[in-house]
Structure 1
Amino acid sequence: MSHIHLCWELGGGLGHAGRLKMLAQGLLARGHRVTMSLRDLMATHAMLADLDILKLQAPVWLHDAVGLPPSANLAEILFNCGYLEPAALRGMVAGWRAMFGILAPDLVVADYAPTALLAARSMGLRSASVGNGFYSPPPGQSLPAWQQAPAERLASSEARMLATANAVLTEYGASPYQHAADVFLGDLPLLCTWPELDHCEPASRGAAEWLGPSFAAQGGIAPHWPEGEGRRVFAYLKASHASHGAVLNALVEEGCRVLAYVPEVAAGAAPPLVSDRVLYADAPVALPQALAQADLCVCHAGEATLAQSLLAGVPLLMLPSHTEQFLSARRVAMSGAGYNAALLTPASDWRATLRPLLNDASYREAARAFAARHQGFSQQWMNQALAVRLERLLA
């Protein structure tokens, strides 16, 4: 069978590693050899511990770009990752090429790993990409703008990023990219989301195939809730968000029973609120079980949590921490299945925000309608669909 190398280069959180884990399991079950390179070996170690494959440190950009405005599209994100000048990008590409030279994969599959795709192209290796709509832009079109910025600036940024990538490809005698979007897509882009959660307008996708989100749903400890009466709320929050304590306090004041996973608290930090109505999990919680019992989910709009909450028909209060999460939260809010609290602060009236989510049936009805539209979706089917398409590319 074939040797398939899975790559993760950019972005944070465990969603990228979870998607690659699910894909690796599907490919291994079909007899392929799988290896993996990861942006963060430490944070992903526990999640991937039962995956008996070679795991390597991905070549990643370690330097700060000075004087750049906030990124308004994917090209400007890459300016912060070595794509301002060919001289900066060469070392990264050389690292990926050296890894591929040693591993000799038949196929490179990238989850937000544009430099891995560039290196594969420079070596004549076949490649594919998997990912959500944020970093899987519509092919052949201008890159979507995530922030307000002058059109001239966006076009100039896109042209400069493309020129940097093509300058390196030319040095290796490889064919240049035609469009800036090509940098993120590889030979076969596989769009792992649903139209309702796509960061791009579905109409811009043309005949695209939405395969649905891919995430690691297994694992986690069984949910336990505080004793007593009151709505059950599952909260996955990080202490780095300024409002996480205010939200927990508002939930308690509204009479809810909260099962909270706060990674910093699980690691030993002091909890933001001590109450017999809040139980802090000391490890990640099994989401399918927790959401099957929950009346509301509070989270930062991470892809895996959003998808599982909606599949369970549970409405959401979303506190996005960055642009990708904000766009996801906006899409869910547009569907009526949740509230995007991006503009709220610790001093905001969180109780007034929570009451409609807890008491207005329309939020739960919208979430249940979402679940009904995707009834029957499973990660097993998703793995098979991805594996079959990758095998066709290899063939």
Structure 2
Amino acid sequence: MNAEAWMAGKKKKAVICWELGAGLGHLNPIYQVAEELIRRQYDVWVLCKDLGSVHRVFKNVAADPDTRRGTDGKPGPEVGAGSKAGLQILQGPNLSPLAPQQAKSALCFADLLWTVGYHNPQQLKTVVMAWRALFDLIAPDVVFYDHSPTALLASADYSFKKVYLGSTFSCPPSSYPMGLFDPAAMQQAKAAEDQVMDVINSVNDSLGLPEIKQLQNLFDYYDYKIFTTVPNLDHYRGREVSKDEFFVSVDSFHVEKQVEWPAAGKTKVFGYLKSGQYLKKVLSYLIKSQCCTCLYIDGRFEIKQALPPNIKLINYPVSMPSVVESADVVLSNANLNTVIYLADKPVKQMVIPLSVEQGMLARTLVEKKLAAWLNPDTAASVEELTESVISGNKFVVGKAERDGVGEQKSAGELLGLALDVVL
């Protein structure tokens, strides 16, 4: 066999990196892109932040290929060395963040990088070298980056295609400083970015990689950007979209299990919430309100008291279409995939943002009257707002207010069209 014939029959390789962030908002798009790449005959490596959470979406990890099934019961991508479907899932390199008491309030995107590990040049250098070792080992044709700035930094002199994948928050528009969260803190944000760039360039210099003048120049490495949202819900205002940028709202991950409601209560409230102390205040009001409540709590959350018959806690995802069909109100932390899925559905949303990213999205949702913002730090706020949302007296989502959030094409079609260009 000559070299040309051998290359013609050789499968292309794709890597999907996931470095920062947590939850289904990252795993769900990664799964859908991996599935589409496998359908297109790519060998796929997923280098992920948290192997322990992968099973929540990649349900088909099993020794026997016949038992590898998706949540719909159909055969799914196989996982493991030598698998026919060509999907490998590995732990990706991780930075060690600052201790919570050392972290400061983020004024810009550079502050976030400093907190997650860019404060330590030696650590950053080690993780950059680890990413480069994986790229050398796999020799991919294309790499997708879900909130993976260090993997992108490590990619500087590689010729493979570089594609951003994820929310708009993790890929701000080009500016200096990049990703400014508080316009009143412009000078402090510039100083913060300069500090991060000094660390980045010290690492680049030691590894023989090119100097980067500003953070926006790092993001210039991307050949394409696939945003897993819709333009109206961009975290940043005034983004000028280029021909190499695509907005693709991903499908809600298919789950067979239907929501099961408690026997007691009338108004049905479904919650998809991260664990945390704030839940005690929210739960206290929901108990008092006599709402028929089902809460999916992501993470460890201990309840010492016995729950009344109108409250049910679950630790597994359920079918979102089944929630939409029966719920009156959905509570979330302004999780991107959740709010997009619900934006054009006849169900009221309440959001409790826990991060800068979720807060930015929550403000847009409130402005567009797509959700109400609940502040659990004020007991009166929890009670008053929840009651007004449930009763419908103060918060009503009208169809006209949702116009422009939905897409004419399905999420799968949009993703396919974007990958047609990218690949």
State the match for 1:88 in structure 2: 123
Q: Which of 250, 263, 273 lines up with 1:227 in the alignment?
A: 263
1:331–1:54 distance in 2 versus 1, CA, 3 Å? same
Q: In the superposition, relative to structure 1, how do residues 263 and 271 fare at CA in structure 2: closer, same or farther (>3 Å)?
A: farther
1:327 equivalent in structure 2: 360
Q: Select which of 70, 73, 92 maps to 2:105.
A: 70
Q: What's the CA shift string for 1:256-300, capped at 9, x where partnerless?
A: 2112212457x8x43766121122234211112212321111111
- Find the aligned partners of 1:272 and 1:330 in 2 and give their Cα distance: 34
**Distance (whole Å) between structure 1 residues aligned to residue 191 and residue 378 of structure 2:** 38
Q: Which residue of 2 aligns with 1:338?
A: 371
Distance 1:210 1:127 in 2: 14
Write the mapping of 1:281-296 to structure 2, written as runs, cut at 5 A.
281-296=314-329
Determine which of 215, 229, 239 is the counterpart of 2:275: 239
Q: CA deviation at 1:316?
A: 1.2
Q: Distance in 1 between matches of 2:261 and 2:403?
A: 24
**Match of 1:120, SS?**
coil
Counterpart residue number, 1:316: 349
The structural deviation recorded for 1:113 is 0.3
The CA deviation at 1:63 is: 4.7
- What's the secondary structure of 1:354's corresponding residue? helix
Question: 2:388 matched to 1:388?
Answer: no
CA contact (8 A) 2:257 2:319 kept: yes
Once residues 125 and 281 of structure 2 are traced to their aligned partners in structure 1, the CA distance between those partners, rounded to angstroms, is 46
Q: 1:239 to 1:114 in 2, by over 3 A?
A: closer
**Is 2:94 the partner of 1:60?**
yes
Equivalent position to 2:383, from 346, 351, 367: 351
- The TM-score normalised by the length of structure 1 is 0.87
**Counterpart position of 1:5:** 15
The residue identity in structure 2 corresponding to 1:59 is P
Q: TM-score, normalised by structure 2?
A: 0.82
Cα distance 1:39–1:291, how it changes in 2: closer, same or farther (>3 A)? same
The residue that corresponds to 1:275 in the other structure is 308
Equivalent residue for 1:158?
193
Q: Distance in 1 between matches of 2:293 and 2:126?
A: 48
Specify the SS of the correspondent of 2:143. strand
Contact 1:300 1:320 in 2 (8 A): yes
Residues 1:188 and 1:178: Cα distance change in structure 2 (over 3 Å): farther
Q: How far, CA to CA, are the matches of 1:228 and 1:195 in structure 2?
A: 40
Question: Who wins on radius of gyration, i.e. which is larger?
Answer: 2
**% same residue:** 22
Is 2:296–2:314's contact at 8 Å kept on the other side of the alignment? yes
Judging changes above 3 Å, is the alpha-carbon distance between structure 1 residues 190 and 46 closer, same or farther for their aligned structure 2 residues? closer
Do residues 168 (structure 1) and 178 (structure 2) align?
no
Q: Out of 284, 297, 301, which is 1:262 matched to?
A: 297
**8 Å CA contact retained: 1:336, 1:362:** no
Of 129, 138, 144, which aligns to 2:179?
Answer: 144
On the 8 A contact 1:194/1:210 being kept in 2, the answer is no
What CA deviation, in whole Å up to 9, does each residue of 1:331-356 have, x standing for no partner?
Answer: 111111211124x4163342211122
Match of 2:47 among 17, 32, 37: 37
* 2:235 aligned partner, one-letter code: H
Runs of at least 5 residues in structure 2 that lack an aligned partner in the other structure: 1-10, 61-76, 79-86
Question: Gaps (5+ residues) in structure 1?
Answer: none
Q: Call closer, same or farther: CA 1:67–1:138 in 2, change over 3 Å.
A: same
C-alpha contact (below 8 Å) 1:132/1:213 kept by paired residues: no
